[in-house]
Amino acid sequence: MGSLKRPRVKIEVEIETVSKYFKQEQKDGLVKRENEHGLGIQDVDIDSIKRMGAREYFKYINRFTKDDISGEKLKIEDNPNIPANFIPIYSQVRLMRSLIKTPVDSVGCAMLPITINSTFGIEQEKMKPKNYRLQLLISLMLSSQTKDETNAKAMHNLMEYCIEELGDPEGITLDALLKCDEKNLDNEIHSVGFHTRKASYIKKAAVMLRDQFDGDVPTTIEGFISLPGVGPKMGYLALQKSWAKIDGIGVDVHVDRLAKMWGWVDSKLCKTPEHTRKQLETWLPKSLWYEINPVLVGFGQVLCMPRGKKCNLCLVKDICPGVDKKLLKRIKETQLDDDPVKDSIRGDYSELVSFLKEQKKQSKEE
């Protein structure tokens, strides 16, 4: 028996047309330059950002790298190269993403410094932006082949060590990392994969930040990938959340896997996440270059995992080329009565279940 079809949820999408003949006026005094694909990217006033206090800094960063998309209209620049199924799939995934809680929302690399500092009594408005940027970089360096929850444990241990053993009240700072013995550092981060190698990378990177980058994180992708253990994915995410520079897409395993599954990139040509990044950047609207990472990562963590997909709860199961048809055959009716928190290994999709129940109720009444 086939799966129960759910009425398609209408999503409002705004298509923005850009004139080929008239240049748009630049906003905010930001100068435009081009990336490797000839697409415009923003220059930012780094010196001004470095002078910002915590409140002003985080407000500025969040303006360009907004994580909370609930209630935000999806705006797409008109582009004939966008795959035909992109808007139908992404708009629905975006809706589902706004209805679920995922590890990346609280202990993903961008949020982890804020979450960890809060547990030690250092609220966001009291954090030094320079410390946030450094801790973001360290969390990214630790994250390779490591789940967000495991990464959070390592960052918590390192933060505690820096405060209690090294006597730094601000926790993970450049001074603390330079002072920290590599063996002790390795011990504090032992929960992550390849911890010994990463401890060595962090120590070497700390010296480079002191000697080559004026005690702060780099301001260019070239600077970031010059650090040991830092690749393009980490570099672009660090640029986005450190300086609000949206110079490229952060493509991790989830973004890579889902983009290939939905046919947004050529899986035969895209052998690595870096290949996927370059192909996505040829057509993905610039306005989505930051957003697509947390949207797809969270979706991939909780609903569309490599194994154990929850296709019965997915709004795009009727048009998704990667749908688990065997799962839908086993489920005669969409099961919405299970405890979504108890049933979920990671995250919480109870709000999505409530949404689906309401949709089902409305469908029966019509």
The residue type at 85:
N
Secondary structure, 3-state, the chain: CCCCCCCCCCCCEEEECCCCCCCCCCCCCCCEEECCCCCEEECCCHHHHHHCCHHHHHHHHHHHCCCCCCCCCEEEECCCCCCCCHHHHHHHHHHHHHCCECHHHHHCCCCHHHHHHHHCCCCHHHCCHHHHHHHHHHHHHHHCCCCHHHHHHHHHHHHHHHHHCCCCCCCCCHHHHHHCCHHHHHHHCCCCCCHHHHHHHHHHHHHHHHHHCCCCCCCCHHHHHCCCCCCHHHHHHHHHHHHCCCCCCCCCHHHHHHHHHCCCCCCCCCCCHHHHHHHHCCCCCHHHCCCHHHHHHHHHHHCCCCCCCCHHHCCCCCCCCCCCHHHHHHCCCCCCCCCHHHHCCCCECHHHHHHHHHHHHHHHHC
Residue for token pair 């935000």: 72
Catalytic residue among 101, 241, 278, 317: 241
Distance CA 113, CA 276 (A): 28
Q: What is the mean pLDDT of the chain?
A: 88
Taking residues 314-329, report their average pLDDT: 93
Give the number of other Cβ atoms within 10 Å of residue 325's Cβ. Answer: 11
Q: How confident is the model at residue 335 (pLDDT cuts 50, 70, 90)?
A: low
Give pLDDT, residue 21.
Answer: 31
Q: Does 241 participate in catalysis according to the annotation? A: yes
Q: How confident is the model at residue 33 (pLDDT cuts 50, 70, 90)?
A: very low
286 & 334 share domain? no
In a domain, 40, yes or no: no
Taking residues 114-136, report their average pLDDT: 98
Query: pLDDT digits over 159-214, tens only?
Result: 999 999 999 999 999 999 999 999 999 999 999 999 999 999 999 999 999 999 99
Residue for token pair 């010196």: 47
Taking residues 309-330, report their average pLDDT: 93
In a domain, 342, yes or no: yes
Give pLDDT, residue 11.
Answer: 60
Q: Is residue 365's pLDDT more than 50?
A: yes
- Which of 285, 303, 321 terminates a domain? The answer is 303
What is the number of domains present in the chain? Answer: 2
Q: Is residue 22's pLDDT more than 50?
A: no
Give pLDDT, residue 4.
Answer: 43
Query: pLDDT digits over 298-309, tens only?
Result: 999 999 999 999
Query: pLDDT digits over 273-305, tens only?
Result: 999 999 999 999 999 999 999 999 999 999 999
Please give the share of the chain, as a percent, with pLDDT higher than 90: 76
In a domain, 17, yes or no: no
In a domain, 39, yes or no: no
Cβ–Cβ < 8 Å for 174, 209:
yes
182 & 219 share domain? yes
Distance CA 90, CA 338 (A): 26
Residue 326 structure tokens: 């065997």
219 & 336 share domain? no
Q: How confident is the model at residue 336 (pLDDT cuts 50, 70, 90)?
A: low
The residue type at 27:
K
**Domain span including residue 144:** 46-303
Q: Is residue 81's pLDDT more than 70?
A: yes
Give pLDDT, residue 9.
Answer: 58
177 & 145 share domain? yes
218 & 356 share domain? no
Distance CA 146, CA 109 (A): 11
279 & 346 share domain? no
Distance CA 257, CA 299 (A): 12
189 & 335 share domain? no
Taking residues 337-341, report their average pLDDT: 53
Give pLDDT, residue 34.
Answer: 52
Pairing of strands 13-16, 74-77: parallel
Q: How confident is the model at residue 259 (pLDDT cuts 50, 70, 90)?
A: very high
Cβ–Cβ < 8 Å for 193, 199:
no
- The reply to whether the predicted model has a pTM over 0.75 is yes
Give pLDDT, residue 71.
Answer: 78
In a domain, 35, yes or no: no
Give pLDDT, residue 328.
Answer: 87
321 & 252 share domain? no
Q: What are phi and psi of 33, to 5 degrees?
A: -135, -175
Give pLDDT, residue 41.
Answer: 52
In a domain, 157, yes or no: yes
Taking residues 45-64, report their average pLDDT: 97
Residues in CB range of 34: below 8 A, 6 or more apart? 40, 41
Cβ–Cβ < 8 Å for 298, 347:
yes
Mean pLDDT is lowest, of 107-111, 201-205, 341-345, for 341-345
Q: Is residue 8's pLDDT more than 60?
A: no
Taking residues 111-121, report their average pLDDT: 98
- Which of 303, 320, 349 terminates a domain? The answer is 303
Please give the share of the chain, as a percent, with pLDDT higher than 70: 84
In a domain, 173, yes or no: yes
Q: Is residue 343's pLDDT more than 50?
A: yes
Taking residues 82-93, report their average pLDDT: 97
170 & 258 share domain? yes
- Which of 254, 282, 303 terminates a domain? The answer is 303
Cβ–Cβ < 8 Å for 157, 188:
yes
In a domain, 14, yes or no: no
Q: How confident is the model at residue 32 (pLDDT cuts 50, 70, 90)?
A: very low
130 & 65 share domain? yes
Residues in CB range of 3: below 8 A, 6 or more apart? 312, 317, 328, 329, 331, 334
CATH of the domain at 56: 1.10.340.30
Give the number of other Cβ atoms within 10 Å of residue 114's Cβ. Answer: 17
319 & 259 share domain? no
Question: Among 135, 129, 89, which residue's Cα sits nearest to residue 108?
Answer: 135
Taking residues 256-272, report their average pLDDT: 98
328 & 201 share domain? no
